[in-house]
Amino acid sequence: MAEGEQGTYVKSGEEFVRDTDYVTTRITCDGADGFTPEAGRYRLVVARACPWANRAVIVRRLLGLEGAISMGMCGPTHDARSWTFDLDPGGRDPVLGYERLQEAYFALDPDYPKGITVPAIVDTTTGKLVTNDYPQMTLDLSTEWTDFHREGAPDLYPEALRDEIDAMAQTNFTEVNNGVYRCGFAGSQEAYDKAYRRLFTRLDELEEHLSTRRYLVGDTITEADVRLFTTLARFDAVYHGHFKCNRAKLIEFPALWAYTRDLFQTPGFGDTIDFPQIKEHYYVVHTEINPTRIVPQGPDVRGFLSPHGREQLGGRPFGDGTPPGPPPEAERVPPGHGAD
């Protein structure tokens, strides 16, 4: 299950298993699936609350694809039917004209049987979903949309390091990105205990790995860092308490916490994080875990802007490239919603 899939998460006595059966249509230069990169044709639909969608937002920012791929923003909460465009005037996406993301899914398949997930790329010429395959989506933004990258865009998926990036990302997915969900949606004490041990075993490994190197793979930011960051940025705010991942807070891991602050303070990362929306989503939508829907006031997130000292480890955040400029005015996180 990706973030936002409707239905029951917790099944008594069972271990949480994520449904990874997505619409795998790709937008590629060779048009093998019938879709090629075209400026203005596609709309990336996301929600700031969702870590999987957050990956696509960051990659789009880093590569400078704002002018080629427009972005629609769902609100942080949804009902059993779908993510909604309740942040937009009149509650409709201004480009697609939809009230609910499910309309794009049903335009593709009126009997679409799976959950309605973000991120999703929609063809604005037909209103139909193209893909919700979030792992492939960001890789394709890096490799298939190069004609539309900004000048100075970083190489987030360098060919020489792809096997290492893929291996790192896969391990982090199973043990950390999805590991927090296995803790939170465990249907038995045994399932939770197992998930908890696996999660913190991997976090301990990452703490050691990052104590002597600035980034996960190579000496620049890669896709692997983007994928880990979106989970770490949410760890203390939701996963530590809401998902019972409470052996330690992120701020108690010296290297991981400094690494997260380093990325947060890098243009394209922290400027995509909306803490109130993140907390509202998890604590309001997951009523099986939090039936009162009370959203906690803490934690104090101003520490994300404190000095991290990671420069001493070397590394070049954007390699031979440059940082992205400020986000478009309409896409900026509201004041007071970040770490300011």
Is residue 146 assigned to a domain? no
pLDDT digits (tens, 9 = 90+) for 130-186: 999 999 999 999 999 999 999 999 999 999 999 999 999 999 999 999 999 999 999
Residue 128 included in any domain = no
Query: Which CATH number characterizes residue 180's domain?
Result: 1.20.1050.10
Please check whether residue 87 is in contact with residue 334, taking contact to mean a CB–CB distance below 8 angstroms: no
- What percent of the chain has a predicted confidence (pLDDT) above 70? 96
- CA distance linking residue 228 with residue 165, whole number of Å: 12
Question: Which pLDDT belongs to residue 74?
Answer: 98
Strand-pair partners of 78: 83
Distance CA 340, CA 318 (A): 24
Among 47, 44, 35, smallest CA distance to 70 is for: 44
Q: How do residues 50-106 score in pLDDT, each as one tens digit?
A: 999 999 999 999 999 999 999 999 999 988 778 999 999 999 999 999 999 999 999
Assigned domain for 119 exists = no
Token code pair at residue 108: 């593709």
Pairwise pLDDT comparison (3 vs 147), residue with the higher score = 147
Amino acid, res. 41: R
The confidence score (pLDDT) of residue 82 equals: 83
Instruction: Quote the pLDDT of residue 12.
Output: 61
Tell me which H or E stretch contains 188: none
What are the tokens at 132? 């919700």
Mean pLDDT of 328-340: 95
- With CA atoms as reference, report the closest residue to 182 among 132, 239, 235, 226: 239
Q: Does the pLDDT at position 202 exceed 60?
A: yes
Residue 325 lies in a domain: yes
Q: What's this model's pTM, rounded to 2 decimal places?
A: 0.96
| Among 175, 207, 292, residue whose Cα is nearest residue 242 | 292
pLDDT digits (tens, 9 = 90+) for 253-281: 999 999 999 999 999 999 999 999 999 99
Could you tell me if 134 and 53 are in contact, meaning their C-beta atoms sit under 8 angstroms apart? yes
Query: 28 — alpha (psi -120 to 50), left (phi > 0) or beta?
Result: beta
Catalytic residues: 50, 181
Helix (H) or strand (E) holding 230: helix 223-234
Determine the Cα–Cα distance for residues 176 and 322; give it in Å rounded to an integer: 29
336 domain-assigned: no
Cβ atoms 82, 8 nearer than 8 A: no
Proportion of the chain above pLDDT 90, given as a percent: 91
Give the domain range for residue 253. 159-331
Inside any domain, residue 127? no
Q: What was the pLDDT predicted at 16?
A: 81
pLDDT at 105: 98
Q: Is 145 annotated as a binding residue?
A: no
212 lies in a domain?
A: yes
pLDDT given at position 293: 97
Please give the distance of CA 307 from its chain centroid, rounded to a whole number. 24
Task: Give the mean pLDDT of the chain.
Answer: 95
CA distance 25 to 332: 30
User: What is the rounded CA–CA span in Å between residue 214 and residue 221?
Assistant: 9
307, pLDDT greater than 60: yes
Element (H, E) at 129: strand 128-131
Residue 10 has a pLDDT of: 62
What is the side-by-side order of every strand in the sheet holding 128-131? Answer: 70-74, 42-47, 120-123, 128-131
* 53 is a domain residue: no
Residue 119, SS3 per DSSP: coil
| Overall domain count for the chain | 1
Q: How confident is the model at residue 5 (pLDDT cuts 50, 70, 90)?
A: very low
Mean pLDDT of 40-45: 98
- Please check the confidence at residue 19 and state whether its pLDDT lies above 80: no
Question: What pLDDT is recorded for position 17?
Answer: 80
- In this structure, the dihedral spanned by the alpha carbons of residues 320, 211, 225 and 180, taken in order and rounded to 10 degrees, is -170
pLDDT digits (tens, 9 = 90+) for 219-241: 999 999 999 999 999 999 999 99
- Residue type, position 102, single letter: Q
Instruction: Say how far apart CA 43 and CA 21 lie, in whole Å.
Output: 21
